[in-house]
Amino acid sequence: MRNDRLGVALAALSALAMGTALGMVFLYAPREVTMGDVQRIFYFHVASAWVGFFAFSVTCLGSVAYLARGERRWDILALSSAEIGTAFIAMTVVTGALWAKPVWGTYWTWEPRLTISAVQLLIYVAYGMLRASVEGPERRARFAAVYGIAAFVTVPLSWFAIRWWRTIHPNVLTGEGMAITPRMVHTLLVSLGAFTLLYAALLRQRVRLERTADRRARLRLRARRG
């Protein structure tokens, strides 16, 4: 993080915000009446899903910008955001299963929201595999951009799955399937803010990693020519 004051500030801020969010989850938020303490998974689970959706939206926008302008920085933004989004959606799926076991009596059920989340995770894992398999930086970026735009369809699909189809997944906004008190709302909002800061901090580091890799590629070329 040499000479990266913004990166250090973002990392420190996100660590502080995550600590506050954790404190609120365990000390401030009340115990949910029907589910008990296991409901506390919900705060980070929702925040993690939010970061996943937001990250995939950034990937889609970066991909559109790359196709329109052909500038490498948009490709870097798209791929960096996709990697972070994939990690957060993976955490969302795993922690959702951990919440489901004591509440639904099973880790997994093939209901619309869960199925779409699993498919979404696989689609973005495939995005990384696609990038690794295509030869040539420009061709790779173009293919990935088209894929990144097409893959974005899973975001609205996942968001509306609990509204369009019959599902047992709780609806956070309407409070359907879960009683939401003001303290729970405060904790959720702080968790959402903390995860958004964490995303910004990770994205900055991931973008820097890719720029460093580009520098190495230029040096390798010089070394081969020299």
Partner 1 sequence: MMPIYLIVAYAVFVGGTLALACSIRMRRRQIEREIERLEARLSGAEAPTTNES
Where helices occur in the chain by DSSP H, the ranges are 5-23, 41-69, 72-104, 112-133, 137-151, 154-164, 182-225
Contact 121, 89 (CB under 8 A): yes
Residue 4, token pair as written in the block: 């990266």
Closest distance to partner 1 from the beta carbon of 21 (Å): 10
**Quick one: 87 or 130, whose CB is closer to partner 1?**
87
Q: What angle do CA 120, 124, 129 make, to 5 degrees?
A: 145
Closest distance to partner 1 from the beta carbon of 167 (Å): 21
Closest distance to partner 1 from the beta carbon of 150 (Å): 25
**Quick one: 39 or 154, whose CB is closer to partner 1?**
39
Closest distance to partner 1 from the beta carbon of 219 (Å): 4
**Quick one: 48 or 187, whose CB is closer to partner 1?**
48
Separation between Cα atoms, residue 59 and residue 74, nearest integer Å? 9
Closest distance to partner 1 from the beta carbon of 132 (Å): 14
**Quick one: 127 or 149, whose CB is closer to partner 1?**
127
Alpha carbon of 7 to those of 74, 86, 167: distances in Å? 19, 21, 41
* Nearest C-alpha neighbor of 125 from the set 103, 159, 151: 151
Q: Footprint of partner 1 on this chain (CB under 8 A)?
A: 18, 22, 36-38, 40-41, 44-45, 48, 84, 87, 90-91, 94-95, 98-99, 101-102, 198, 202, 205-206, 208-209, 212-213, 215-216, 219-220, 222-223, 226
Separation between Cα atoms, residue 6 and residue 217, nearest integer Å? 26
Closest distance to partner 1 from the beta carbon of 90 (Å): 7
Closest distance to partner 1 from the beta carbon of 163 (Å): 25
**Quick one: 44 or 152, whose CB is closer to partner 1?**
44
Residues 187-200 as b or e (16 or more Cβ within 10 Å = b) = bbebbbebbbbbbb
In this structure, the dihedral spanned by the alpha carbons of residues 161, 162, 168 and 170, taken in order and rounded to 10 degrees, is 140
**Quick one: 166 or 225, whose CB is closer to partner 1?**
225
**Quick one: 150 or 209, whose CB is closer to partner 1?**
209
